[in-house]
Chain A
Amino acid sequence: MILRMLRLRTLVTGCLAIAALLFAADPAWGVPQVAEQEYRALPFISSRVLMWAVAELHLMFAAFVLAVPMFALVIEFIGYKTGDKRYDQLAYEFTKLLSVSFSFTATLGALLTFGLIVFYPTLAQYLVRIFSWTFLPYVLLFFLEAVFLYTYYYGWGKFSPRVHLFLGVMLNIVGTAIMFIANAWLTFMNTPAGVDELGNLTNLWEAINNYTWMPINIHRLIANVAFGGAIGAAYGAFKFLGAKTPEERAHYDWMGYVGIFVAICALLPLPFAGYWLGVEIYAYDQSLGITLMGGTFSWLFIIQAVLIGNLFLAANYYLWLSMGRIPGAERFRRFIKYLLAVITLCFIVWATPHSLVATVEEARAMGGSHHPILNVLGVMSAKNTAVNLLILTTYVSFLLYRRANKEATVSWAKTGNLVQFGIFAAVVIFVVFLGVYGYFVDAQTRIGLSQPQVLSVLFAMVSVTVIDIFLFRNAQSRGRVAWGKIPARSQYALFFLAITFTWLMGLMGYVRAGMRQHWHVYGVVRDTSVDAFTPTLGFAGMVVSAIVVVFFLLIAVVFFLSSLSGQKNWEPGQSKRWFKRRSETAATPLTQ
């Protein structure tokens, strides 16, 4: 019943949002009323903070709704190919989270649209003028997504597997297309193109395909999967901690593992996508680039570095704890300290700021605002090297986890291990060499060096995985994975990962929008409102934190509603029995 109500609400809010867009798009209806007032204010909260929160929450739910079908489809496909029903069940369980989340996404999207029209009428009107032609495909795709999503969810087990997989594919294609269109709007605000000096549209395709459109598309696509995986893992952890039977614990332990496996897989290429986005921003306008990396916002990148370092550390930590449930993993425990040493070192390099907080005395002792040693670690050559090594180290942790209960039986096992080690060693040396070489070349060449670094790391991961697959074909097993036999703190690591991912999204979302400073559309539409200033970093941090808290409260509602579907139907007298049981439990002496 609740789900049906939410579905109805989704459609209603969707229709209202579309009506609002059309209303604003038609100059005969929208303009005369809104053109009189450029901004509107709220009594207790600034309209900017309200729109900030609504946009961020909409983005978080949208990211989740786009990500879950991606890996649910892959899991379902694995189940279809292997015939293992567990995968099908797991994919369905992930999909259960979608229905309510989709409703929340649509509601928040409608709220965002209304808010833009009410509080920022001139800006809304301008964006509508530029992008009006993109609204029709957006609306159609939105309806198609609703159709495919609900058919995919409610049609589970009702269609042939191939038809159901096709629905999943279509859901993903439509969802991605929606995101691409919305990305065009927001990236245009940062790096506008296709408009003349007065801001009039000259070429719609150029406005869409602006400098940061494709980098944001790719970055969000990957980040969504990482985020969705982490939230899915948190759901597994939530259910694991409340599980009553060993079977439930085993199932939700497995679910948490699959979720975080998806998140880690997506996390690995994410820094590269982010770097590409940063390069494009700098290339579009050095002021934007310097605002991000050298100016006010550079401190937020230090926070980002700390969060990402913690993400990698927590992901490795979870893998190390997970090895406890695999017989044979004891062999690899001695490697943990070396992996941790590399992670810590890379984390330190990654988090070292270029601009230092120093007292006058400290600055004098350093001979200026740069420290001769830290200065070397504060630039991208060092940071790219560190993040590449972090990624490789995390991959090694996963490789050890994967091998934990396997004993290779192929005749060339020793050679295979040596080749794998050789590849790792060669790639580490190559990555470090390029990092050091970056200090001796011009900026353009240095930026270019990041590509061979990334490609060599990807080569190492792919080639070592391929060798590993053949190496452990027909491997001797040291025992089955004891799902469910994992300490509870591992589940808190999953919560930590989900919260950190979310906080990171909120923070970097603010950075991406905030770097425009006093522009709505950078260099085209100036912000002349009372809020046309960059808030302090502390205030921004508090707003982001508050948004994350609200998001998790809403996610708790999603978890609760999703778990209702598996519960027994209500029966007359059930409430009385429940209260009676409660009072009996309360009356039971503690000594028993």
Chain B
Amino acid sequence: MNLLVLLTIAAVLVVIQVGVTRWVNLNRLAWMAIWWAALWAAFSYGITPPLPQSIVVLFMAIITIALLAYLSADSEELAQARQTLVSFMVEKRYQVALIVVILTLPLLVALSVFSSLNQAPQPPASGRTIHPVPPASISFEGNTINLSTANNPYRELEHSDPEAFAAHVDNGRRVYFENCFYCHGDNMEGAGQFAHGYDPLPANFNDATTIAMLQESYLFWRIAKGAPGLPPESTPWSSAMPAWENFLTEEEIWDVILFLYEFTGFEPRAQGMPH
């Protein structure tokens, strides 16, 4: 959050509420315009890192609809707003202001066109799919693994044989720090020493919206097949994740998955529970 910007916006609103309204009677239309501008400024400049333009447009569309609903929810206020607009357009005392508005609107459009064309070329915005859809099954070392039904074979040891389970987790730790930590980092935040060179950045496993939402078989697929195994949907993926099936055994992959959940404290999503 950019507190300075947000506090400035709040201060301006307070000044208008307390100060300006003493001399000028602001009707609902004026308040709507003030709130619209304040929220636009807050979304555009009050949040760090900045929100993508697509999100600002979405939010402002919702706010515009809501403000219009508020304006027209009261017939008297709507009539007053309509009267204000009509007066502005027909009364002589507003003639100069009207000319200014008439000239400003196309100028703003021209400025917008100019600034959009004056930017350095850049690739278009992309709607990247965060969780690609896994196939029904994958082949691994000549065996077929059904991703809908596959479970981590060592997960059950957690209760039946805690020592053996701890050994698998330790093995997973070894695998992680020998192979994964360079990109995903020692705290699994996706900030390893190579991370800055990638786009997209490596996944942050501490984020509650990554491995915490997924089943272990999904992680197995992602680790085993890496970027080359991503589905054709939502391409190009540009991911640098290697296909670890070429370097790790099946047991090592399941072990490193155990370690990921053990380290982050998340539980994997269970399979087929409801019904």
Residues of A at the B interface (CB closer than 8 Å) are 211, 276, 279-280, 283-287, 290-291, 294-296, 298-299, 306, 309-310, 313-314, 316-317, 320-321, 324, 333, 336-337, 340, 343-344, 347-348, 351-375, 378-379, 439-440, 442-445, 487, 489, 523, 534
Which of A285, A362, A442 is in CB contact (< 8 Å) with B125?
A362
Instruction: For residue B70, give the distance in angstroms from its CB to the closest CB of chain A.
Output: 5
A340 touches B70 (CB 8 A): yes
Q: Which residues of A contact B51 (CB under 8 A)?
A: 371, 374
* Chain A residues near B70 (CB-CB < 8 A): 336-337, 340
Question: Contact between A443 and B127 (Cβ–Cβ < 8 Å)?
Answer: no
Which 10 A-B pairs have CB atoms at the shortest separation, nearest pair first?
A: A442-B267, A294-B131, A368-B201, A358-B52, A443-B269, A357-B54, A295-B133, A344-B66, A320-B73, A283-B274
Q: How far is the CB of A364 from chain B (nearest CB, A)?
A: 7
Bound form: Cα–Cα A148–B135 in Å: 48
User: Contact at A356–B52, with CB atoms within 8 Å?
Assistant: yes
Among the 9-residue stretches B82-90, B99-107, B210-218, the one with 4 or more Cβ atoms under 8 Å from chain A is B210-218
What are 12 sample pairs from A and B whose C-beta atoms fall under 8 A apart?
A: A283-B274, A294-B132, A316-B69, A355-B130, A356-B54, A356-B55, A360-B199, A369-B201, A370-B204, A442-B266, A443-B269, A444-B273
Given contacts A344-B66, A379-B209, contact A284 B275 (CB under 8 A): yes
Question: Which residues of A lie under 8 Å from residue B217 when comparing CB positions?
Answer: 286
For A213, the closest partner residue in chain B by CB is B275
Q: A295-B132, A444-B267 are in contact. List 15 more A-B contacts (CB 8 A).
A: A211-B275, A280-B275, A287-B148, A290-B131, A290-B218, A295-B129, A317-B72, A340-B69, A348-B62, A356-B127, A359-B52, A361-B122, A368-B190, A378-B209, A444-B269
Q: How far is the CA of A373 from the CA of B56 in the complex (A)?
A: 13
Would you give the shortest CB distance from B158 to chain A, in whole angstroms?
A: 13
B204 touches A368 (CB 8 A): yes
Q: List, in ascending order, chain A residues with CB within 8 A of B63's CB.
A: 344, 348
* With A285-B148, A294-B129, A340-B69 as contacts: A439 and B208 at CB distance below 8 Å: yes
Query: Is the beta-carbon distance between B133 and A296 smaller than 8 angstroms?
Result: yes
Docked pose: A336 CA to B77 CA in angstroms: 13
- When distances are taken between beta carbons in the complex, the residues of chain A under 8 Å from B153 are none
B274–A286 CB distance below 8 A: no
Q: Which of B72, B123, B129 has the most CB of A within 10 A?
A: B129
Please measure, in the bound complex, the distance between the C-alpha atom of A440 and the C-alpha atom of B54, giving whole angstroms. 29
Are B270 and A296 in touch, CB under 8 angstroms?
no
Which residues of the other chain, A, contact B75 by a CB distance below 8 angstroms?
324, 487
- The verdict on A321 contacting B73 (CB below 8 Å), with A286-B134, A369-B128 known, is yes
CB closest chain-A residue, reference B213: A443
Instruction: Tell me, in angstroms, the Cα distance from A299 to B127 when the chains sit together.
Output: 9
Known: A280-B275, A368-B190, A368-B200. A287 touches B133 (CB 8 A): yes
Nearest-neighbour CB distance to chain A for B232, whole angstroms, equals: 10
Partner of A357, one of B127, B214, B272: B127
A375–B209 touching, CB < 8 Å: yes
* List of B residues within 8 angstroms of A290 by Cβ: 131-134, 218
- A280-B275, A351-B58 are known contacts. Are A369 and B130 too (CB-CB below 8 A)? yes
Which B residues are in CB contact (< 8 Å) with A276?
274
Asked if B271 is at the interface of the complex by the 8 Å CB criterion, the answer is yes
Interchain CA distance A521-B200 in the complex, whole Å:
35
Instruction: Please tell me if the beta carbons of A296 and B267 are within 8 angstroms of each other in the complex.
Output: no
Which chain A residue has the least Cβ–Cβ distance from B190?
A368
Cβ of B141 within 8 Å of any chain A Cβ, yes or no, is no
CB distance from A445 to the nearest CB of B (A): 8
The answer to whether the Cβ of B136 comes within 8 Å of any Cβ in the partner chain is yes
Q: How far is the CA of A523 from the CA of B135 in the complex (A)?
A: 11
Listed in ascending order, the chain B residues whose CB lies under 8 Å from chain A are 1, 47, 49-55, 58-59, 62-63, 65-66, 69-70, 72-75, 122-136, 147-148, 190, 199-201, 204, 207-209, 212-215, 217-218, 233-234, 266-275
Q: Specify which of A298, A316, A343, A371 is in contact with B52 (CB 8 Å cutoff).
A: A371
Task: Judge whether A296 and B201 touch: CB under 8 Å.
Answer: no
Q: A439-B208, A487-B75 are in contact. Are A291 and B133 (CB under 8 A)?
A: yes
With A280-B274, A333-B74, A367-B49 already in contact, the answer to whether A344 and B208 are too (CB < 8 A) is no
Query: How far is it, in angstroms, between the C-alpha of A316 and the C-alpha of B65 when the chains are bound?
Result: 13
Specify which of A356, A372, A379 lies most central, judged by the most chain B CB atoms within 10 Å of its CB. Answer: A356
Q: With a 10 A CB-CB cut-off, give which of A313, A343, A348 has the most chain B CB atoms.
A: A348
Q: Of A295, A309, A316, A489, which is within 8 A of B62 by CB?
A: A309
In the complex, how many angstroms separate the beta carbon of A225 from the nearest chain B beta carbon? 24
Q: How far is the CA of A374 from the CA of B49 in the complex (A)?
A: 10
Return the contact of B49 from the options A299, A314, A348, A365 (Cβ within 8 A). A365
* Closest-CB distance, A158 to chain B (whole angstroms): 44
A317 touches B148 (CB 8 A): no
Indicate if the CB atoms of B272 and A294 lie closer than 8 Å: no
Give, as a whole number of angstroms, the nearest-CB distance from B80 to chain A: 14
Closest to A341 in B: B66
Q: Which residue of A lies closest to B218 (CB)?
A: A286
Residues of B within 8 A of A285 (CB): 136, 148
Contacts of B233 in A (CB 8 A): 295-296, 534
CB distance from A498 to the nearest CB of B (A): 18
A279 to B275, CA, bound (A): 9
- Give Cα A361 to B209, complex, Å: 23
Contacts of B128 in A (CB 8 A): 355-356, 369
Which A residues are in CB contact (< 8 Å) with B131?
290, 294-295
Name the residue in B53, B58, B122, B204 with the highest tally of chain A Cβ atoms < 10 Å from its Cβ: B58
Residue pair B122, A359 in contact (C-beta under 8 Å): yes
Q: What's the Cα separation between A309 and B270 when bound, in Å?
A: 31
For residue A441, which residue of chain B has the nearest CB? B267
Residue pair B134, A287 in contact (C-beta under 8 Å): yes
> Contact at B135–A287, with CB atoms within 8 Å?
yes
Q: Whole-angstrom distance from the CB of A96 to the nearest CB of chain B?
A: 32
User: How far is the CB of B176 from the nearest CB of chain A, in Å?
Assistant: 20
B residues within 8 A CB of A320? 73-74
Report the bound CA distance from A354 to B55 in whole Å: 11
Task: Give the distance in Å from the alpha carbon of A62 to the alpha carbon of B101 in the complex.
Answer: 53
Q: Which residue of A is nearest B120, CB measured?
A: A361
Is there contact, CB below 8 Å, between A371 and B125? no
Cα(A291)–Cα(B52), bound, Å: 24
Q: How far is the CB of B84 from chain A (nearest CB, A)?
A: 19
In whole angstroms, how far apart are the Cα atoms of A51 and B194 in the complex? 51
Chain A contacts for B127, CB-based, 8 A:
299, 355-357
Known: A290-B134, A368-B200, A442-B267. A296 touches B52 (CB 8 A): no
Choose among B133, B148, B267, B269 the residue with the greatest number of A CB atoms under 10 Å from its CB: B133
Q: Nearest A residue to B61 by beta-carbon distance? A: A306
Chain A residues within an 8 Å CB radius of B54: 356-358
Residues of B within 8 A of A355 (CB): 127-130
Cβ–Cβ < 8 Å partners of B132 in chain A: 290, 294-295
Min distance, Cβ A436 to any Cβ of chain B, angstroms: 11
Is the pair A364, B199 in contact by a Cβ cutoff of 8 Å? yes
- Chain A: minimal CB distance from B260 (Å): 13
Chain A min CB distance to B23 (Å): 23
Q: Which residue of A lies closest to B73 (CB)?
A: A320
Contact call B190/A352, Cβ cutoff below 8 A: no
- Chain B residues, Cβ within 8 Å of A284: 272, 275
| Bound Cα distance from A347 to B130, whole angstroms | 23
A362: chain B residues at CB < 8 Å are 50, 52-53, 125
**Minimum distance in angstroms from B105 CB to a CB of chain A:** 26
